[in-house]
Structure formats: C-alpha cells, structure tokens
Amino acid sequence: MDSSLAWIPRAEFERVLADVADPHDRARAFAAMCRINTLYMIARAGSGHIGSSFSAADVVSWLVLEELDRPFEADGDVYFSSKGHDAPGLYAAMIGLGLLDEDLLHRLRRIDGLPGHPDVGTPGMPFNTGSLGMGISKAKGLVLAHRLSGRVSRVVVMTGDGELQEGQNWEALPSAARYGMGELTVVVDHNRLQSDTFVTDVSDLGDLTGKFTAAGWGVLRCDGHDPGQLEKAFAQRAADHPDRPVVIIADTVKGGGCPTFAATSMAPGEWRYRHHSGAPGPEDRERAYRELTGTADGILRGRGLPPLRPVVRTLDLPVKPSGVRLPEVYGRLLTEAAREDPRIVALDGDLVLDTGLIPFREAHPDRFVECGIAEQDMVSMAGGLAAGGMRPFAHSFSCFLHARPNEHIYNNATERRPVVYVGSLAGLLPAGPGHSHQAVRDVSALCAVPGLTILEPSHPAQLAAALDHCRSTPDSVYLRLSSQPVPAALAALPPAPLETGRGQVLRDGGRAVALGAGPVVLGQLLATADLLAARGVALTVVDLPWHNRIDPEWLARLLTGVRHLFVVEHQYDSGGQADLIARHLMETGTGDGIAFRGLGLTEVPRCGTDAEVLAAHGLDAAHLADLIGADVLDRTPTRTPRPDGDTTWKLSATN
C-alpha cells in the first residue's frame, strides 16, 4: 500500500530546543514531536506499541530534557524502561537529541536497525527489557555496582501498571529500602490499561501507594502529562526522600497526547483498547498526525516561532500477509469443544486477542479465567483445576508461557494430572518484536519434562486433531502455535490421523528427506522442494508435529533407502527434533548409511522483517535449497554460510 508519511528531522528538534525558552513548553513541544516520529516509525514498520509510547512520552521528555544529568552517556544518570513496549517513543527522543543516528528512524524492526523491544546492542540501552517485571531488580543491581565502583549517579526505571502484576516487582522492593537506595527512582506509567483491557478488570492493583509505602519506599503522585507536576514531583523526591528509594506514580492516559489513540476516546462499554500493538490504519494515522502537529505548532505560534517543517516521504508500507492463522482457528475449536466438555477451563495471561480466546470468553464466561501478567500464578492455578477434575488450558505467548513458570509446569507434571499449555507466537517469527518475544528455547526447555508432550500442528485440520488429543490424553501437552499465516498448500490439507510420534509425508520425492513442524518450517521446506526440483534434486518433505516423541517403526519405514536426512527447526538446535532423531538413529543403528544434518538457531535471534530474519539465520527456502542441494549433490554451497552456523551429525559416510 503506497502512502505518504511525515516525520520531523533532527534539525527541527534542534530549532525547537534552542528557541523555546520555557522548559514546560519545550518539553510539551518535544513530546509532541517525538509522538509524530513514533507514529512514523510504527507505521513504516507495520507494527509497534503506540499506546505505551504515547502514554510515557511526557515523562520521558521531561527526564531527558530537564531532570537527568547526561542520560545515555557512559558516566551519566541512567534511565531505562522496564516495560519495553514504549521503545519506539524512547528511540524517537534519543534521535531527537542526536543520541542515535537519524537514519535509524526509518529502520524500526528492521535487521541492523532498532529492535522492537530494548536491547543492549542499541547505544544507550543498559538492559534488554520487554519481558516484564525485571527492571526494578536490574536497577538495584546497577545501583550496587555503582556504589562498589565509587560512581555517583541516579537510576530511573519506568514500569507499566499492568507490569506490576508480575510478582518479581514486589520481591524487589524491600531490599531496596533496606539498602537505602536513594539513587533509585521508579516511575509507574499509570495508564490503567494493559495488553487487552483495563487493569482493574484483570488484577486490580488496589492501594498502590500503600503497597509501596509498606515496603519502605517513598511514594509521590502526579499527572504524568503535566511537565509542571513532573518537575515538582522530582524536586520533592530529592528534598523529602534523599536516602531511600522512591516511586512516582505518574497518572497518564494510554495513547495520551493524541485524541485518536487516547483511551479516553474509547466508546462507552468498549472493553478492549485497540492501539496497544500493531500499526494504525491510514485514516487514524492521518488524523493523529494532524492532532500532533497542531499541538506542536500551537506551542510554537504562541512563542512567535514558525511551525514545524516536516519531511514527507511516499513509501510502500508493509501489508499484513493474508491467510488463516492457527490461534484464530484454535479459539473457535476450543469454544466448540467446551460446549461438549464441561471440564474445559481456559486461563489467559492478558493476551486474549493474540491467543484466539475472545470467542471462548464470550461463550463460556464462567469457565474463562483472566490471570493477567502472572504466568506462574496461572500455571499453578491450572494445576489446582486439574486436581479438581477439570481439563485446564493455560494460554500466553510461548516465550512467556514456558520460561518463568517452568518449575510450576514441572511440578504439575510430577502430580500426573493433565494440563494443556497453549503458546502462541511460537518460534522465530514474528521477528519484529525482538528476542524477548521470539520463542526459540521453549522446546529445549520443556522436552525433558516427564509426562509432557510437545505438539506443533502446521495446518487447521491437524490442529483439530491435536486439540482432540489434548482433550483425551492422560499426559500434559504443550501445544505450540505459530501465529504466522498458514501457507495455502498446507491450509488445504484434509484431516489425517494424528498418531503419537508419527508424521505425514507432504511431498514424496526421493532419497533425500527433510523433516520439520509447524507452518513456518514446512512452508519453507515445500518452497525448498520446488527450488530443488528445478535443479533436478528430488526432496521428500515430512510434517512431524511431535517435538519430543518418535515412533521407531514409523521412522524406520520412512528412512528405508534414504541417503540424506535433514531436520529443520525454527528454534534453538539443542533439545529438539534433531537431537531426538539423531539419538534414536545412533542408539538403534537405523541411521546406518544416512548422512544427517540438523538445522536450527545457534545464536540469539535477530530482529527484523520476517523475510530478513529467516534469511539471516539460513532458514529461508533459498538458503535451505542451496545447502540441501549441495549436500545431496556433494558440492560446496554457493551461498554465503549462515552467520550463526549450523549443527551437523554425520552418522556415516555419504557415499
């Protein structure tokens, strides 16, 4: 879709900062300009978090312009965002101050550009954040390090109010008071909304002031959109609480500073805030741009200054790829299953849209439990439901569902009561949010949990069979769902039996077999087979949805007469299908005469567009075809080797 986008160049920031003398007006104008560039960045990238960036913009502007001493410099005061969703807004402020290259404004969520969530590879970022609840603890450690090294500086960390549902925040508070961390200030972006809906409707924070006070912290409160109140709050912090940590609860509006995106513009009865993530449509984008330029120009005109001089570019903006997505199909299937099975209970970790659960929430409100941003609580609650005879399905992004509650998942498994864990956004893609949201270690983290099966369907018919398996098996199941569109060739596949440890041949080629799971890998493998066919190489493509189960008889039949076996995974290459199959082949001797290669990630995943990142890790069809073709034909690959390498097992000589 062609569209014109406007952004504010660095020279305009310099002009406004130099010519607007009043610090409050200067901060307001700077914040409006940052919001314009945030809007540009997210629209150009096709995704991002407008609501969080806008609600934090006034706080960030006051901090970087007036409050902190040389922020983002090696020996200056430290500021970072724990919530991480507001990264585009923070980038816009840093670019406006000349602390990041202006060219990066055009490279949000692109490879070698600005990641979707903060990463230490970006200048000025002290921590990787976006996986919520870690920021206060990291800030405490930094304060202690500064003390030990004799450095004097303040540390300011921003959290979201929804983020405070993560228990680690409350674990972090008492020791900060005990150590008298007067260097530490936490600003709560109190916009009253989390990913899906209002905080009060999920897990009400209650008396927030009382909670921080009880932990020994000083507590202040102000309007987070009013520079004058922010100035007073920080001055009071220094005067009244010099020797203890302080929290400033900044009351804000999600999407604030722009009526189009402001939560205050939500219709009566509207429960879901629409601008938490994603890119706005053309109408919303244009209206918001007019609102924001009107704010900035109004301040400039009031000072007798010329209006902003934006740069306008016509760009080919990304279009959301079409096709059926498994979480949406899953939500409908689970809703129908719950009509027949009263044991089914769905638990959600504040991601009801992304996990496909809106139909379930509407159809079975008595069996829908919104747990909020508290995965450990959700998983243990699921264990309690299972103990009471229910069949709980616990939902979140895969990256969050397997990690913090890992011990709780193991505990549930040791009780031998079935729980179904359903992780969306599984695997390397989407790559735009960055590695905090790319679930590439979930398989290896869960593959050894006793009594837990890891199952990754690749198309709707297989997903329906997988859900039937989840409902009937005595084991727990981790149902791994890619959120990428299912390729048409897979979406059209008819139902087929789902037998534990067995796969389905999607394309019967020859004595080279490539095996994988999920729509991302299998879509690339089918395209790889097409490329190789044009080179005279026949490739058999096999869909094996089981990550930690293999049927020896099935595998032996599949590999009869096979000379080359490739296992491709869109996660780390340790502890997954390749390891499972290689071990089986070595222990049984089934692999005699077969050259085996496992392909997966060996480095932290890159951030960028999906196509960029697949290519960067050598998991796109072009790289796979070159590598597989070279192995089969016993030639040297012509493409540049993958930057993260690969893992190869030679079970016997190729020839």
d(CA 32, CA 24): 12
Percentage of residues in the chain having pLDDT higher than 90: 92
Backbone φ, ψ for residue 309 (5° rounding): -115, 85
The amino acid occupying position 11 is: A
Number of residues assigned to the chain: 655
Structure tokens at 342: 């009263």
> In this predicted structure, what is the pLDDT of residue 317?
86
Task: Tell the burial category of 211 from Cβ atoms under 10 Å away from its Cβ (0-12, 13-18, 19+).
Answer: middle
Residues 153, 158, 164, CA angle at the centre, nearest 5°? 130
pLDDT at 312 over 50: yes
d(CA 420, CA 466): 11
d(CA 642, CA 430): 20
Neighbours of 158 (CB within 10 A): 27
pLDDT digit string (tens) for 339-355?
A: 999 999 999 999 999 99
pLDDT at 301 over 80: yes
pLDDT digit string (tens) for 452-487?
A: 999 999 999 999 999 999 999 999 999 999 999 999
Percentage of residues in the chain having pLDDT higher than 70: 97
Band (2; pLDDT cuts 50, 70, 90): low
Structure tokens at 354: 């992304």
> In this predicted structure, what is the pLDDT of residue 68?
97
Domains of the chain, earliest start first: 2-316 (3.40.50.970), 326-489 (3.40.50.970), 503-650 (3.40.50.920)
pLDDT digit string (tens) for 574-615?
A: 999 999 999 999 998 888 899 999 999 999 999 999 999 999
DSSP 375: H
pLDDT at 648 over 70: no
> In this predicted structure, what is the pLDDT of residue 621?
98
pLDDT digit string (tens) for 163-216?
A: 999 999 999 999 999 999 999 999 999 999 998 899 999 999 999 999 999 999
For range 493-517, the mean pLDDT: 95
Structure tokens at 89: 């807004």
Q: How far apart are the two ends of the chain, measured CA to CA in Å?
A: 51
Band (655; pLDDT cuts 50, 70, 90): very low
Neighbours of 465 (CB within 10 A): 18
3-state secondary structure of 270: coil
DSSP 450: T
3-state secondary structure of 158: strand
DSSP 354: T
> In this predicted structure, what is the pLDDT of residue 645?
44
Band (637; pLDDT cuts 50, 70, 90): low
> In this predicted structure, what is the pLDDT of residue 651?
37
> In this predicted structure, what is the pLDDT of residue 294?
98
Band (650; pLDDT cuts 50, 70, 90): very low
Integer Rg of the chain from CA? 26
In angstroms, the Cα distances linking 418 to 123, 422, 499, 579 are 46, 13, 19, 26
DSSP 127: S
pLDDT at 646 over 80: no
Residues whose CB falls within 8 Å of the CB of residue 145, separated by 6 or more in sequence, listed in order: none
> In this predicted structure, what is the pLDDT of residue 638?
59
Higher pLDDT, 243 or 590: 243
pLDDT at 239 over 80: yes
> In this predicted structure, what is the pLDDT of residue 60?
98
State how far Cα 493 lies from the chain centre: 30
Structure tokens at 529: 């087979």
Are 52 and 86 in contact by the 8 Å Cβ rule? The answer is yes
DSSP 179: T
pLDDT digit string (tens) for 331-343?
A: 999 999 999 999 9
pLDDT at 649 over 60: no
pLDDT digit string (tens) for 363-375?
A: 999 999 999 999 9
For range 414-437, the mean pLDDT: 96
d(CA 618, CA 557): 29
> In this predicted structure, what is the pLDDT of residue 8?
98
In angstroms, the Cα distances linking 392 to 240, 264, 366, 468 are 49, 36, 13, 14
> In this predicted structure, what is the pLDDT of residue 639?
53
In 3D space, the residue among 10, 8, 65 whose CA is nearest the CA of residue 35 turns out to be 8
> In this predicted structure, what is the pLDDT of residue 641?
45
Neighbours of 201 (CB within 10 A): 14
Structure tokens at 593: 């005469």
d(CA 552, CA 580): 11
The amino acid occupying position 338 is: A
> In this predicted structure, what is the pLDDT of residue 652?
33
Are 568 and 516 in contact by the 8 Å Cβ rule? The answer is yes
